[in-house]
Amino acid sequence: MSEQPQNAAAATEEPEYQSGFGNHFSSEARPGALPRGQNSPLICPFGLYAEQISGTSFTAPRKHNQRSWFYRIKPSVTHKPFDRRVPRHNRLVGEFDRSTSSATPTQLRWRPADVPDSPVDFVDGLYTVCGAGSAFLRHGYAIHMYAANKSMDNCAFCNADGDFLIVPQQGRLWITTECGRLFVSPGEIVVLPQGLRFLVDLPDGPSRGYVAEVFGVHFQLPDLGPIGANGLAAPRDFLVPTAWFEEKFHPGYTIVQKFGGDLFVAEQDFSPFNVVAWHGNYVPYKYDLNKFCPFNTVLIDHGDPSINTVLTAPSDKPGIALLDFVIFPPRWLVSEHTFRPPYYHRNCMSEFMGLIYGVYDAKADGFLPGGASLHSCMTPHGPDTKTFEATIAHGKGADPFRIKDTMAFMFESYLIPRVCPWVLDSPYLDCDYYQCWIGLKSHFSSEGSDRTGGAPQVEIMAVKGD
């Protein structure tokens, strides 16, 4: 284990994982490395250092408390002081106000960004699109995108601001963390908790994707309510890494820390991935979106997108999310006498959408894999003209059909996003997005229509009693 190279860009096999969401895990890369009966003995096995990482306050209720214990070759405190990174990364935001971003109710859409020609790793390829709140105040979120073509070299990243939920769209990610390694492909997601150090290798070369970041809370599974005990994302399908460590002298190794949206660097002479054993419930994890069990309408009307929630970061208001992660996977549409694509609507929540692959059923043209759209609070949106006309042309006799070979998603929040200037000025901004609705025409007729509204008529038979 310790003899394998840190850079695993050529790796082709999945590492071993543990399964479950919110479990208390334990893992040893060397048998006997975990202390027995206590967390911090006077002398740890193999001469290791005990170190705790806390994702919640010490006094959080037990059911919400998150922390892990690491048993490492050298403690993470062994580094030089942090300095502001030079040159500064000017496209990351941790505090959303008038000085960093602007608000707009206009519907926005972006075409897929090209991966840069010059060498760019995950850190430098990361840029903020929009967000709300403040990392300093521990409340809010940021939505980023990334485009990179180079593995991180002799450095690790640490996000002190919040949790990262990464959605790769092109190119696999080989992610090394203090808890072990994860291999993440497009169609999967990975969550990297606040404060955990990690690096990103690119085994396929060019890569791009989306990132949601939440401040002050952690992602959890949504309540199922009337659905019952099963469905949506199953806890057992979430995968957590097993312990893996590197014992190697690394002169000039750099820790890049995101703090308040700015980047700082500190130098050390060893790999931060020197954790020989660990236990706890504050861990990175990945999930295959194709394992999601969707629910849908089986008679009339279109269900609300909340039935497709994979993970939620709750607010302090019951039933209202700081940020939901919702997907639109392959599924059957069987509803009768119903307009099956998403209906036209205005929403008190703001919606950022991305497309991993395929075609989104509400947008026949223009919304491409790797692209994105933003519909803010109470801004109207819905199917484009082509989708609407094609749908009603089927008439009442539309047979059940399966939406396949697609995976779209949405980051949804009750906080109104402010948008960063570089994405408003981006060459990838689709300035003609509004045109997709301009062609919608009136079908109104005061003399009636054969497109009758209302629920399907049910024939009632009278049964004569005795």
How far apart are the C-alpha atoms of 260 and 113, rounded to whole Å? Answer: 26
**Contact criterion met (CB below 8 Å) for 84 and 264:** yes
337 marked ligand binding residue = no
Catalytic residue among 302, 337, 375, 394: 302
381 marked ligand binding residue = yes
**Contact criterion met (CB below 8 Å) for 181 and 241:** yes
How far apart are the C-alpha atoms of 411 and 132, rounded to whole Å? Answer: 13
345 marked ligand binding residue = yes
DSSP 301: S
**Contact criterion met (CB below 8 Å) for 341 and 387:** yes
**Contact criterion met (CB below 8 Å) for 312 and 352:** no
Annotation marks residue 144 as catalytic: no
Give the DSSP per-residue string, 405-464.
S-EEEEEEESSPPEE-HHHHS-TTB-TTTTHHHHT------TT--SS--SSPP-------
CB-count burial class (<10 Å; 0-12, 13-18, 19+) for 59: exposed
Residue 125: CA count within 13 A, CB half-sphere: 27
Query: Binding site membership for Fe cation: which residues?
Result: 345, 351, 381
Query: Binding site membership for homogentisate: which residues?
Result: 360, 381
Residues labelled catalytic: 302
Query: Binding site membership: which residues?
Result: 345, 351, 360, 381
